[in-house]
Amino acid sequence: MKRPPGFLEGLRLDRALKLVWQASPKWTVVGFASLVVQSIVPLATVYVFKRVVDSLTAPDGFSSGEPGFTALLYLLVTAFGLAVVGSLATAVLGYANDIQSHLVADHMQRLVQAKSIDMDLAYYEHPRYYDKLHRAQREAPSRPLRIISELSSLALNGLTLAGALLFLFAFNGYVVLALFAAAIPVLVYRIKYADALYQLFGEKAASERLSGYFNQVLTTAADAKEVRAFGFGPLLVGRFTALRTKIRGDLQRISRQGYRRQFITESTAALAGFGALAFIAYAALQKSITLGEVALYFGAFQVAIGSLRPTLSGLAALYENNLFLSTFYEFLDVPQRVEEPSQPRPMPRPWRSGLRVEAVSFRYPGTDRPILDNVGLTVRPGEIVALVGRNGSGKTTLTKLLCRLYDPDSGRITVEGHDLREFATRDLRGEISVVYQDFGRYHISARDNIVLGRPELPPGDPAIVQAARWAGIHETLTRLPQGYDTVMSRTFADGAELSIGQWQKLALARAFVRDSQLILLDEPTSSLDAASEFKFFEKFREMAQGRAALMISHRFSTVRLADRIYVLDGGRVVEEGDHDELVALDGLYAQLYRQQASYYDQRKPLSAAKRVAFS
Ligand SMILES: Nc1ncnc2c1ncn2[C@@H]1O[C@H](COP(=O)(O)OP(=O)(O)OP(=O)(O)O)[C@@H](O)[C@H]1O
Ligand SMILES: [Mg+2]
């Protein structure tokens, strides 16, 4: 985590002001205008009262009859009017602040979302990314407005302080100096406190997230079954409590330190203050100043002390708020690793030679184990290619590289002979229909679940039903209470819940609705029953016609239908051919195939079959 940026850098407010302005120019103007009115009203009131006093004491003033009294009335009405305007400005300012606080928080949330969408997938595997995100979302949103309100009260108090200091300066420069000397330690320690707090928030982001995670497991539907079935709720509650106790303890420690320092520095400041008062009194006793001046200086002194405190704490708060806001900028400034080309190549349509993976090696960022090692394969349009291999052999990793969620460390992947890096990622991904192994289940209507695959599609487009038919989910959807418009979760009113296999079909429909040239399926039938799987492949060839299809599967009933099969082992392509060729080769494929086939072919009890499978 970054060190605090230093006092002056910490008071750079341009980005904060810009955030507030961008969130709502209108309400910023309204707020600023009411602030100006609010600060003018007291001065104007003083002026009106000066006119009242002047007129009362003037020889031809109000005392000389009716017209004079009317003029006095006018002045009093003006003063009343000013008071009303002042109250109105206060109310409008409060209202503007309320509205702005929501607008600014939403605006910042949108910025975080926009950045998250563009962020490399690699960041989602980085604890530091989550810490940054957590802080950007949790600490930042309230800060810009707090900065604005600190700034305005700082301006008001600062002006008052400057005036009072001018008076005091006329009396004695040393008194002013003493006041400042006493004030500086107060400020220094407030800044240090803000730094310590910021540092602590950085350090505890990970434990905060972990405690948040335990809370989520305990309170959301996703894990509710296992929490109950295994009864591990109390265990997680215990871990949650331990984490919170530690976090609270650290916060209390910093807070205790802060208040101790505040007590010491403020006592010193009070000492300096009373010293200065004693000095004024001494001057009066020496008769070097008049009683009137004593009253004036005492008054000025009270005002100076009264406005010095809020000015100092205003400065410190400004610093602290800006410091915490810096976590938000840090998040927005995270660089992109999967780079967009400056001159993207237009995506060819239709593909003729298709997709080639050429000598690709890859390890996940921040790790040193090679996951793909010199992998080469080809998928031509009109061809269904299968990729098989044991768990962890790198199949899913390859699909992520094809979608350019990561770039290879060496080698290249090409479409029509051009490196994927030459295309805009948006254009490339636009040509891919993908169903990931851990496909998404979105708590929106079934129709929307499909439309997400092609967001520009109008909700009534026949392509939606066509995709659902291909995926074998159309009949199920029509039987739901609101048909395609039923919300796919019982968390929301009138929702319905699908089975896992039905969810998988919905994910397939989402991919199939897309007008793409590459179909990428990672275990597309893992949850389908035998009949559904059979039907799926009956339709798949028709659906995939003219497109390139790459399918990953552990099910040989699926794999054997492919035109070509690649066998991946430990990140390397070890075999290639169609089903019959690979069985004849009698290598890894033949071994895996026979192991699975033995479940079906041999009428053995489970224990015996297990011995075959894992031998
Ligand atoms: N995000 C990641 N960061 C670091 N390592 C990862 C990441 N994702 C996967 N791995 C590692 O890469 C290896 C290959 O994983 P991958 O998901 O590609 O396997 P797979 O062939 O799809 O396996 P399965 O058949 O179980 O789906 C695994 O050993 C895994 O630990
Ligand atoms: Mg996988």
CA of 520 to the centre of ligand 2 (A): 12
Q: How far apart are CA 296 and CA 291, in angstroms?
A: 9
pLDDT at 382 over 60: yes
Ligand 1 atom nearest to 568, measured from its CA:
21
State the pLDDT at residue 433: 95
State the pLDDT at residue 609: 46
State the pLDDT at residue 534: 85
Q: How far apart are CA 321 and CA 231, in angstroms?
A: 43
107 Cα distance to chain centroid: 11
Burial class (CB in 10 A: 0-12, 13-18, 19+), 411: middle
One-letter amino acid at 414 equals T
Q: How far apart are CA 576 and CA 197, in angstroms?
A: 59
User: 97-101, 131-135, 405-409, 553-557: which range is least confident on average?
Assistant: 131-135
Testing ligand 1's pocket by substitution, the residue of 129, 396, 588, 592 carrying the most ligand atoms inside 8 A of its CB is 396
CA of 427 to the centre of ligand 1 (A): 26
pLDDT at 62 over 70: no
Portion of the chain with pLDDT greater than 70, in percent: 94
118-164 pLDDT, tens per residue? 888 888 877 888 888 888 888 788 888 788 788 878 877 787 788 78
Query: How many CA atoms, within 13 angstroms, populate the side-chain half-sphere of residue 402?
Result: 33
Helix (H) or strand (E) holding 361: strand 355-362
State the pLDDT at residue 349: 92
Q: In 10 A of CB 230, how many CB atoms?
A: 9
Which residues lie across from 362 on neighbouring strands? 372
State the pLDDT at residue 65: 58
Mean pLDDT over the full length of the chain: 87
Q: Nearest 5°: CA angle at 203, between 202 and 205?
A: 65
One-letter amino acid at 315 equals L
State the pLDDT at residue 284: 82
State the pLDDT at residue 280: 81
Task: Give the start-end residues of each E strand in 406-563.
Answer: 410-415, 418-419, 432-435, 518-522, 548-552
Q: How far apart are CA 292 and CA 186, in angstroms?
A: 32
511-545 pLDDT, tens per residue? 999 999 999 999 998 898 888 888 888 888 888 88
94-133 as b/e: b if 16+ CB within 10 A: eebbebbbebbbebbeebbeebeeebbebbeeeeebbbbb
Task: For ligand 1, atom 28, name the residue with the nearest CA.
Answer: 392
pLDDT at 264 over 70: yes
Q: How far is CA 250 from CA 239, 246, 452, 598, in A?
A: 17, 6, 45, 60
Q: How far apart are CA 31 and CA 91, in angstroms?
A: 10
Task: For ligand 1, atom 24, name the residue with the nearest CA.
Answer: 391
Task: For ligand 1, atom 1, name the residue with the nearest CA.
Answer: 125
User: 23-37, 239-253, 591-605: which range is least confident on average?
Assistant: 591-605
Task: For ligand 1, atom 22, name the residue with the nearest CA.
Answer: 396
pLDDT at 317 over 70: yes
Query: How many CA atoms, within 13 angstroms, populate the side-chain half-sphere of residue 153?
Result: 19
Task: For ligand 1, atom 17, name the residue with the nearest CA.
Answer: 396
Q: How far is CA 449 from CA 35, 441, 492, 503, in A?
A: 49, 8, 15, 10
Testing ligand 1's pocket by substitution, the residue of 367, 390, 395 carrying the most ligand atoms inside 8 A of its CB is 395
Task: Give the start-end residues of each E strand in 516-578.
Answer: 518-522, 548-552, 564-569, 572-577
State the pLDDT at residue 217: 94
**What domains can be seen in the chain, in order of their start residue?**
7-332 (1.20.1560.10), 440-515 (3.40.50.300)
State the pLDDT at residue 568: 96
State the pLDDT at residue 536: 86
Task: For ligand 1, atom 7, name the residue with the nearest CA.
Answer: 364
Confidence of residue 600 (pLDDT cuts 50, 70, 90): low
State the pLDDT at residue 178: 81
Mean pLDDT of 359-383: 94
Confidence of residue 614 (pLDDT cuts 50, 70, 90): very low
Ligand 1 atom nearest to 122, measured from its CA:
1
Q: Ranked by mean pLDDT, which of 171-180, 308-317, 347-356, 595-604 comes out on top?
A: 347-356
Mean pLDDT of 239-265: 91
Task: For ligand 1, atom 27, name the residue with the nearest CA.
Answer: 391
State the pLDDT at residue 351: 95
CA of 395 to the centre of ligand 1 (A): 8
Pocket of ligand 1 (CB under 6 A): 125, 364, 367, 371, 389, 391-397, 437
Please tell me which residue, 284 or 435, carries the higher pLDDT value. 435
State the pLDDT at residue 401: 96
Q: Check: CB of residue 505 under 8 Å from CB of residue 528.
A: yes
CA of 572 to the centre of ligand 1 (A): 14
Please tell me which residue, 459 or 446, carries the higher pLDDT value. 446
Token pair of 571, please? 């990140």
CA of 201 to the centre of ligand 2 (A): 37
Whose atoms come closest to the Cα of 400: which ligand? 1
Nearest one of 419, 421, 350, 347 to 381, comparing CA atoms: 350
CA of 397 to the centre of ligand 1 (A): 6
CA of 554 to the centre of ligand 2 (A): 10
Mean pLDDT of 472-497: 90
Portion of the chain with pLDDT greater than 90, in percent: 45
Please tell me which residue, 258 or 160, carries the higher pLDDT value. 258
Mean pLDDT of 231-252: 94
User: 234-238, 401-405, 456-460: which range is least confident on average?
Assistant: 456-460
Ligand 1 atom nearest to 394, measured from its CA:
18
Mean pLDDT of 349-374: 94
Q: Check: CB of residue 380 under 8 Å from CB of residue 336.
A: no
State the pLDDT at residue 167: 78
pLDDT at 615 over 70: no
